[in-house]
Chains A and B, each alone.
Chain A
Amino acid sequence: MPEPDDRTLIKRFLAGDRDALDELLRRYRGEAVRIALSVLHNEDDAFDAAQEAFIKVFRNIHKFGGRSRFSTWLYRIVYNAALDVARKKRRYVNRTEGKGEDQRAGNPADRGEYAPPDDRLARSEKEELVRRCLDELPFKYRVVITLKDIEGLSYDEIAEMLSTSRGNVMSRLYYGRSRLRKMIEARMKR
């Protein structure tokens, strides 16, 4: 039996179906936390931002007109909630464009920032390296790469989320991935 689509679940939620809420949360909570993480670098803050966003979304879900996908609408609110947390905590990372790709030093875990749990043995060293390098990319690149390559959003969806143009998304992906590749290659040579 096929899973109900988002619109069906939203209708059921509006009709008071608690299971529909659980299903929508289960479907999108991981992505929401990852998007918040790409802004915040801190797991606890990312969970807080995701929680805040979900509450706003479900309290205002009657205003969701369905012109875009539910996920795009949700991610946009998550992204804004994360920016809000960042603003409150002054957790702006790599704010200045083009002034060095790593304005921080050392291991993120050493700074109390987000580090993936180390209990997943299957992860290769290369994946860890990619994650670390992505974490150190300037914000504007890190976000679009996360949205495209990890969350699988289209250019149009990313442009809508970030209030920018499709051409800008394309450009950021090009420069961001080029920079990321150079960082990875440089570290693999060490």
Chain B
Amino acid sequence: MSERKPDSARIRKLLDAYADGELSPAAELEVERALVAHPELSAELERIRELKALLASAAPEPSAEKLEKLSASVAAALESPPAASRRSGRVPGDTPAFRKAFLAIAAVLLLLLLPLGYYSRHRKDAPSAKVEEVEVGEGSGVKVISPEGASYSVIRITTHERDAVSVREIETAEGYSCEVVEDPDSGDAVIRLIPPAEEDDRKE
């Protein structure tokens, strides 16, 4: 009996993904065989499906009136020029002069952060920028922060493998990009800015 426990625990962990239709064909087959052999797993699967159904039907429904107002507010904001948001200080200008100043200030900030262990890897080639990872439990969100404290908008994150290490590249709405390299041993994420020159090299 003790020999079957690890398999049973493994299958239990796969049941949620099976209910979600997210397993590979081989893993799916493994679960289906276990379901036939162990009826208690079928009951477990049924409970997962019941919970999923309940969650789907229990979704909060924001009021239709507020949703209409949301649409109207967005449409109205889009009709005004984007410069309005820059005036409010939320999105800094993107002129070459500003970028130079930004990178210079950010370089100082980065040097201040290094001794704190903020960047534990890629120190020797970490370029200038202040990047902050906002942690909320494990669901961390990556933020790129300007020297003034305004956050840039992350518009795309792509993940790929480089030398067996998971690398996430981040593109911001304001034109800066950076990457997150995940340490395969510790799972820690290290963030660094990709300077335009390096980006060009990688494209070639």
Contact = CB atoms under 8 A, between A and B. Distances in A.
A76 B157 CA distance: 9
A188 to B, nearest CB: 12
A22 B153 contact: no
B70 A25 contact: yes
Interface residues of B, number: 55
Contacts of B171: 63
Contact of A77 (B51, B60, B155): B155
A79 B141 contact: yes
Interface in A122-153: 123, 126-128, 130-131, 134, 138-140, 143-145, 148-150
Interface in A20-61: 21-22, 25-26, 29-30, 33-34, 37, 39, 43, 46-47, 50-51, 54-56, 58-60
Interface in B108-152: 134-143, 151
A163 B58 CA distance: 27
> What's the dominant secondary structure at chain B's contact region?
mixed
Interface of B: 13, 16-17, 20, 22, 47-48, 51-52, 54-63, 66-67, 70-71, 73-75, 77-78, 82, 85, 134-143, 151, 153-159, 166, 168, 171, 173, 180, 182, 189
Contact of A65 (B55, B61, B82, B156): B156
Contacts of B60: 34, 37, 114, 116, 131
A50 B66 CA distance: 12
A165 B47 CA distance: 26
A83 B144 CA distance: 13
Given A47-B62, A134-B58, A163-B157, A97 B71 contact: no
A84 B131 CA distance: 14
B173 A63 contact: yes
Contact of A60 (B47, B139, B173): B173
A177 B51 contact: yes
A29 B153 contact: no
A113 to B, nearest CB: 12
Given A43-B62, A83-B141, A29 B67 contact: yes
A126 B74 contact: no
Contacts of A79: 141
Nearest to B168: A163
B154 A80 contact: yes
Contact of B78 (A21, A50, A181): A21
